[in-house]
């Protein structure tokens, strides 16, 4: 008799759906022995519980053996002739990762008789953009999971569930609050709350970090200045660090957004990023803390926003302390559906660098669109920079000085029952963790694992749905911003298309025209050395020449301003290719609806309907993007639609009237859409 849970499938059980139910069929738990650690060690105890719940057959041995050469968290699994497994690790967290690794392989029917794993990055970090009032900046899955009002007296069970999900994919650090950080983050009464969360996450090996406001000594501490060279400011940070580490001895450190989008920073006192970062680094160095200092900087006056991080940070190479890592967004602008990689990667060989990905879909249809992000992450990680040690992964995973290596993703998690707003958005949390552990995994393998753990292993389900996931990022690029177009979004919420968006007095680099530069002659941002901003020269050869002269089509309008009638390698003109790709994107979205409908027999009714509803919105939005962009550009170039282009169903004037009010939690309400 099968024991099927009666509860509705709200998606809350993530990729544990089958593992959590497996053990209960057995009635008795298989024996587990522990050597080299106490079975009561909180982390070991979780490993034992997980293995038993998942119904791992036979006797399992857990062996902790200190090994200075092994990376923290690494593990090995071996089996005897009867299939009894031994998990060996240098530390308790390695045992827990080994347990999750064993359970995953067991669930997937994979061989685990000889496994050895070690994480590529030391810190595998989620950045939460969660605010003290419970909202989440660019969060589309409800309110924050951190319940600041209730803490520290009441500790939500969600913290442990969250930590478990993170640990199961190897994520070992969380920055709890928004990079647009309030000074009150560091107030004593708040730190007690942070400690309560840290205590919940610790057994799962998840270290807590905070985003800090650079002006805190002034705004919170009452000092007249936050100048990093001022001794009183330095003393303030040292005391603050001491206070934090008394409460949280394994506190990770600070993430800092400085002199960016109005946030304070060392530049306010004519000090450099390195002077600011080093001052904080010195305050937390005695405790082993790390400063993650963001390179996301750009000034409204610059003719090319894409060049500024490079220009500002490269001259500072070699000036940063060992415990500072420069955190760089994957692309040079801002988490667009497709950007070339940031030229900063590898351009500071004497400085530790880390990648910041966005898991939350600020520019990819929020939690309404199914967009599997592993291909986007891989595109950046695998990119050959022709600098330093080569690929973006190699550069960021290489230890520099005594500090750790790291990788970060902006979380897509909220207090919605299904965590991420869209059932398939869970796959992006999963994919980030898996790639942070092992960047050599393929998108296909990750999609395959996730689908089978989360839904069903039936190949009739897995194969077509996996293909849908693998196609989804390119489909989104096609219906939103093909050929290297970028930032044609509506202002503020960045949800729908508004290539015409402009309000008098606004910063030009916050308007789409700044990026697409459409005029009667052509389209795109000329970033060539020959006639444009010169951004191509920020890349090493042969990329600089490639982007300058024979630019791949996916980056064409990122680096060039071709004429509408120029012909492309596809034998279409720029205008025809644009029409073709927008069309293709709409067709792909429609195709996803059919693929999902065919998957109905394999999916529970609740999650089937939820995803079906979202796919309908996605197709609708794809049409909206198609019509808005093509009609707007046609208005500028006066060219007819190619014969085979699907005709718009909306009018430009109607689309220009669309106003999406920001809904609760920053997710647009849909009543105003055409």
* Residues noted as catalytic: 261, 334, 362
| 44, 126, 166, 179: residue in contact with ligand GCW (rule CB under 6 A) | 179
Region 408-447 residues binding ligand GCW, contact defined as CB under 6 A: none
Identify the three-state secondary structure at position 166.
helix
d(CA 171, CA 15): 15
What's the min distance (Å) between Cβ of 363 and ligand GCW? 8
What's the min distance (Å) between Cβ of 410 and ligand GCW? 7
Which residue, 492 or 669, has its beta carbon nearer to ligand GCW?
A: 492
| 59, 118, 156, 180: residue in contact with ligand GCW (rule CB under 6 A) | 180
Please count the residues of this chain forming the interface with ligand GCW, following the rule CB under 6 A.
12
The residue sitting closest to ligand GCW, measured at its beta carbon, is 334
**Candidates 175-183, 226-234, 467-475, 480-488; binding stretch for ligand GCW (CB under 6 A):** 175-183
Which residue, 136 or 201, has its beta carbon nearer to ligand GCW?
A: 136
**Candidates 16-24, 111-119, 153-161, 172-180; binding stretch for ligand GCW (CB under 6 A):** 172-180
Residue 21 in contact with ligand GCW, rule: CB under 6 A: no
Residue 257 in contact with ligand GCW, rule: CB under 6 A: yes
**Candidates 177-185, 244-252, 562-570, 645-653; binding stretch for ligand GCW (CB under 6 A):** 177-185
Please give the backbone phi and psi of residue 172, each rounded to the nearest 5 degrees, phi first. -130, 15
Angle of helix 605-637 relative to helix 574-598, nearest 10 degrees? 170
Which residue, 129 or 495, has its beta carbon nearer to ligand GCW?
A: 129
What's the min distance (Å) between Cβ of 32 and ligand GCW? 44
> For residue 133, with 0-12 CB atoms within 10 Å meaning exposed, 13-18 middle and 19 or more buried, which class applies?
exposed
Note whether 77 and 95 are within 8 A (CB).
Answer: no
Residue 296 in contact with ligand GCW, rule: CB under 6 A: yes
| 137, 230, 317, 606: residue in contact with ligand GCW (rule CB under 6 A) | 137
Region 357-416 residues binding ligand GCW, contact defined as CB under 6 A: 362
d(CA 262, CA 180): 9
**Candidates 18-26, 142-150, 176-184, 540-548; binding stretch for ligand GCW (CB under 6 A):** 176-184
What's the min distance (Å) between Cβ of 451 and ligand GCW? 29
d(CA 131, CA 419): 17
**Candidates 155-163, 174-182, 379-387, 588-596; binding stretch for ligand GCW (CB under 6 A):** 174-182
State yes or no: cis peptide before 641, omega within 30 of 0: no
What's the min distance (Å) between Cβ of 184 and ligand GCW? 17
What's the min distance (Å) between Cβ of 261 and ligand GCW? 6
Which residue, 257 or 400, has its beta carbon nearer to ligand GCW?
A: 257
Angle of helix 426-437 relative to helix 374-381, nearest 10 degrees? 30
Which residue, 179 or 215, has its beta carbon nearer to ligand GCW?
A: 179
* Per-residue binding letters, 88-127, with ligand GCW (x by CB under 6 A): ----------------------------------------
- What is the DSSP annotation of 619-658? HHHHHHHHHHHHHHHHHHH-PPPPTTSPPPSS-HHHHHT-
Which residue, 254 or 296, has its beta carbon nearer to ligand GCW?
A: 296
What's the min distance (Å) between Cβ of 257 and ligand GCW? 5
Which residue, 256 or 630, has its beta carbon nearer to ligand GCW?
A: 256
**Hey, which residues does 497 pair with through a beta bridge?**
489
| 334, 448, 474, 509: residue in contact with ligand GCW (rule CB under 6 A) | 334
The structure tokens listed for 124 are: 């595998």
What's the min distance (Å) between Cβ of 160 and ligand GCW? 27
Which residue, 437 or 515, has its beta carbon nearer to ligand GCW?
A: 515
Largest CA distance in the chain: 76
Region 454-493 residues binding ligand GCW, contact defined as CB under 6 A: none
Residue 129 in contact with ligand GCW, rule: CB under 6 A: yes
The structure tokens listed for 258 are: 């400085």
Its sign, for the CA torsion 632, 636, 638, 641, is negative
HEC profile of 324-335: EEEEEECCCCCC
Cα torsion for 420, 426, 432, 434, to the nearest 10°? 150
- What is the DSSP annotation of 175-215? E-S-SS--GGGGSHHHHHHHHHHHHHHGGGT-EEEEEE-TT
Which residue, 410 or 485, has its beta carbon nearer to ligand GCW?
A: 410
Region 607-646 residues binding ligand GCW, contact defined as CB under 6 A: none
Which residue, 294 or 580, has its beta carbon nearer to ligand GCW?
A: 294
- What is the DSSP annotation of 338-407? S-PPPTTTTS-TTS-EEEEEE-S-TTTTTTTS----HHHHHHHHT-EEEETTEEHHHHHHS--TTSPPEE
What's the min distance (Å) between Cβ of 666 and ligand GCW? 9
> For residue 551, with 0-12 CB atoms within 10 Å meaning exposed, 13-18 middle and 19 or more buried, which class applies?
buried
What's the min distance (Å) between Cβ of 125 and ligand GCW? 14
**Candidates 9-17, 178-186, 387-395, 654-662; binding stretch for ligand GCW (CB under 6 A):** 178-186
Identify the three-state secondary structure at position 529.
coil
What's the min distance (Å) between Cβ of 381 and ligand GCW? 19
**Residue 87 neighbours by CB under 8 Å, 6+ apart:** 47, 60, 61, 62, 63, 75, 76, 77, 95, 98, 99, 102
Which residue, 101 or 668, has its beta carbon nearer to ligand GCW?
A: 668
Its sign, for the CA torsion 254, 258, 260, 264, is positive
Closest CA to 407 of 555, 522, 292, 287: 292
Binding region for ligand GCW (CB under 6 A): 129, 137-138, 178-180, 257, 261, 296, 334-335, 362
């Amino acid at each position: 008799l099968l024991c099927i849970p009666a509860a509705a499938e709200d998606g809350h059980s993530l990729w544990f759906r089958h593992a959590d139910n497996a053990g209960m069929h057995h009635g008795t738990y298989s024996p587990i022995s522990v050597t080299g650690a106490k079975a009561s060690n909180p982390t070991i105890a979780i490993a034992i519980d997980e293995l038993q719940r998942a119904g791992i057959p036979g006797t399992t041995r857990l062996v902790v053996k200190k090994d200075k050469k092994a990376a923290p968290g690494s593990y090995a699994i071996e089996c005897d002739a009867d299939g009894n497994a031994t998990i060996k690790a240098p530390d308790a967290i390695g045992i827990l990762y080994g347990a999750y690794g064993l359970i995953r392989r067991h669930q997937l029917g994979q061989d685990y008789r000889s496994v050895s794993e070690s994480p590529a990055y030391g810190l595998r970090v989620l950045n939460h953009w969660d605010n003290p009032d419970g909202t989440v900046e660019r969060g589309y899955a409800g309110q924050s999971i951190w319940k600041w009002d209730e803490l520290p007296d009441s500790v939500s069970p969600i913290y442990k569930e969250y930590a478990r999900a993170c640990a199961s994919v190897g994520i070992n650090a969380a920055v709890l609050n928004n990079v647009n950080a309030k000074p009150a983050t560091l107030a004593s009464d708040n730190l007690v709350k942070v400690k309560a969360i840290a205590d919940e996450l610790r057994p799962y090996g998840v270290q807590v970090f905070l985003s800090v406001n650079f002006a805190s000594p002034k705004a919170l501490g009452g000092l007249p200045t936050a100048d990093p060279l001022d001794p009183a400011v330095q003393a303030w940070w040292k005391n603050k660090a001491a206070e934090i580490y008394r409460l949280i001895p394994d506190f990770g450190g600070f993430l800092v957004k400085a002199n960016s989008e109005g946030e304070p920073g060392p530049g306010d006192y004519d000090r450099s990023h390195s002077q600011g970062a080093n001052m904080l680094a010195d305050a937390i160095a005695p405790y082993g803390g790390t400063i993650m200092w963001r390179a996301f900087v750009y000034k409204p006056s610059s003719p090319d926003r894409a060049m500024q991080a490079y220009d500002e940070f490269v001259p500072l190479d070699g000036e940063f302390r060992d415990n500072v890592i420069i955190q760089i967004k994957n692309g040079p602008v801002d988490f667009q559906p497709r950007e070339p990689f940031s030229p900063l990667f590898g351009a500071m060989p004497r400085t530790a660098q880390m990648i910041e990905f966005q898991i939350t879909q600020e520019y990819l249809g929020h939690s309404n669109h199914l967009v599997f992000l592993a291909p986007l992450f891989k595109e950046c990680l695998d990119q050959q920079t022709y600098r330093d040690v080569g690929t973006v992964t190699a550069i960021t995973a290489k230890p520099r000085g005594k500090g750790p290596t790291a990788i970060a993703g902006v979380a897509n998690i909220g207090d919605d029952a299904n965590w991420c707003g869209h059932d398939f958005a869970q796959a992006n949390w999963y994919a980030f963790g898996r790639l942070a552990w092992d960047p050599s995994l393929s998108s296909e393998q990750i999609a395959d694992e996730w689908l089978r753990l989360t839904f069903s292993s039936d190949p009739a389900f897995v194969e077509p749905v996996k293909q849908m996931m693998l196609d989804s990022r390119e489909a989104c690029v096609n219906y939103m911003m093909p050929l290297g177009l970028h930032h044609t979004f509506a202002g503020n919420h960045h949800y729908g298309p508004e290539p015409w968006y402009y309000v008098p007095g606004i910063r030009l680099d916050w308007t789409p025209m700044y990026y697409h530069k459409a005029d009667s002659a052509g389209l795109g941002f000329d970033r060539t050395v020959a006639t444009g901003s010169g951004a191509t020269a920020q890349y090493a050869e042969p990329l600089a020449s490639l982007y300058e002269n024979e630019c791949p089509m996916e980056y064409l309008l990122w680096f060039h301003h071709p004429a509408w009638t120029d012909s492309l390698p596809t034998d279409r003109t720029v205008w025809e290719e644009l029409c073709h790709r927008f069309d293709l994107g709409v067709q792909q979205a429609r195709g996803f609806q059919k693929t999902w409908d065919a998957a109905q027999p394999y999916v529970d009714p609740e999650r089937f309907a939820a995803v079906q509803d979202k796919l309908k919105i996605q197709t609708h939005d794809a049409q909206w993007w198609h019509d808005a962009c093509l009609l707007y550009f046609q208005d500028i170039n006066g060219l007819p639609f190619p014969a085979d282009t699907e005709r718009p169903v909306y009018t430009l004037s109607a689309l220009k009237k669309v106003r999406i009010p920001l809904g609760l939690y920053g997710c647009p309400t849909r009543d105003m859409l055409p």
